[in-house]
Amino acid sequence: MANFVRGERMHGGMSDLPIAFERATVRAGAVTILDEITLTVSPGAPTLLIGPNGSGKSTLIKLGMGLIDASEGRVTWGGRTNAASPRRAMVFQRPIMLRRSAVANIEYALASRGVSRGEQARRADALLTQVGLRHLKDRPARRLSGGEQQRLALARALACDPEVLFLDEPTASLDPASTKAVEDIVRATADAGVKVVMASHDLGQAKRLAGDVVFLVRGRVAEQARSAQFFVAPATPEAKAFLRGDLVI
């Protein structure tokens, strides 16, 4: 429950957890992207969202972040329906950087949290070191490679000191060493009491990081289980097929 204690200390007793999806449906025109999602995200080890391309992982993250509204049903954060919150941070599948240096992108995030200038430089340096980008701190962020931008986006999200951190495939374009670095950061962040909700198509990674798994197929939760349970004895035929590497559509 470190998470809760942390939330209380930092945010005057108002926690965003648990996040409860209650028959939440998201439609775009005639297309149903998420279909009656009922799911509770609780404090603890990372929740991993897995499922085929187009199954709704990114959309579920945006809904949980409060960036989009449910067409039907609802989402509550710590029992409240207020969508916007400084306690949640997100790394997009394709992060968008400000037209400034890497370090200035982090300092901007720190400034928006009211961190003093001197402190900004110190914290930005520590965050860039943590993600292995300190040597690139003065490079324009948009000139960084895809993988470097993903790590910068992670540092920027951590700068917000979130209670809940949503990560949408944060290692999708990273090499093995950078992937390991990001996984180490995710683990350390979770150990520090931050709730991580992360989409990944890397099953090995999901196994390494997950406390629980949410398996999506065609916009529905096909299965939610403890990680140990899911990977050893998946309950649904879809999950069995997916774990075997069969195409699930």
Ligand X SMILES: Nc1ncnc2c1ncn2[C@@H]1O[C@H](COP(=O)(O)OP(=O)(O)OP(=O)(O)O)[C@@H](O)[C@H]1O
Return the residue of 59, 120, 130, 200 that touches ligand X, per CB under 6 A. 59
* Region binding ligand X by CB under 6 A among candidate stretches 46-54, 131-139, 178-186, 204-212: 46-54
Based on the shown chain and the rule CB under 6 A, indicate whether residue 53 belongs to the binding site for ligand X.
Answer: yes
Query: Which of 54, 73, 193, 211 is close enough to bind ligand X by CB under 6 A?
Result: 54
Q: How far is the CB of 135 from Mg ion (least distance, A)?
A: 30
| Stretch binding Mg ion (CB under 5 A), from 50-58, 174-182, 190-198, 211-219 | 50-58
Tokens found for residue 92: 């997009």
Under rule CB under 5 A, residue 150 binds Mg ion: no
Is 205 near ligand X (CB under 6 A)? no
Q: Which does 96 bind (CB under 5 to 8 A by kind): ligand X, Mg ion, none?
A: none
Which of the stretches 52-60, 99-107, 118-126, 131-139 binds ligand X when contact is defined by CB under 6 A? 52-60
Distances (CA, A) of 212 to 37, 40, 48, 125, 226: 16, 11, 6, 33, 4
Minimum CB separation of residue 11 from ligand X in Å reads 29
Closest alpha carbon to 249 in 207, 219, 225: 219
CA distances from 190 to 28, 46, 172, 203 (A): 33, 7, 20, 19
Q: Which residues contact 142 (CB under 8 A, 6 or more apart)?
A: 97, 99, 149
Who contacts 123 (Cβ-Cβ below 8 Å, separation ≥6)? 106, 110, 115, 159
Provide the 3-class DSSP secondary structure of residue 10.
helix
58 contacts Mg ion (rule: CB under 5 A): yes
Measured between alpha carbons, how far is 102 from 74 in angstroms, rounded to an integer?
Answer: 37
Element (DSSP H or E) covering residue 238? helix 237-244
- Strand 19-28 to strand 31-41: parallel, antiparallel, or no bridges (unpaired)? antiparallel
Rule CB under 5 A: say whether 47 interacts with Mg ion.
no
**Does residue number 110 form part of the binding site for ligand X (CB under 6 A)?**
no
Q: Which is nearer to ligand X, 121 or 172 (CB)?
A: 172
Tokens read off for 155 = 């540092």
Residue 192 interacting with ligand X (CB under 6 A): no
Kindly state the smallest distance separating residue 61's Cβ from ligand X, in Å: 8
Token representation of residue 216: 């999506």
56: contact with ligand X by CB under 6 A: yes
**Binding site partner of 55, from Mg ion, ligand X, none, Cβ cut-off 5-8 A by kind:** ligand X
Site residues (vs Mg ion, CB under 5 A): 57-58
Site residues (vs ligand X, CB under 6 A): 28, 31, 33, 51, 53-59, 93, 201
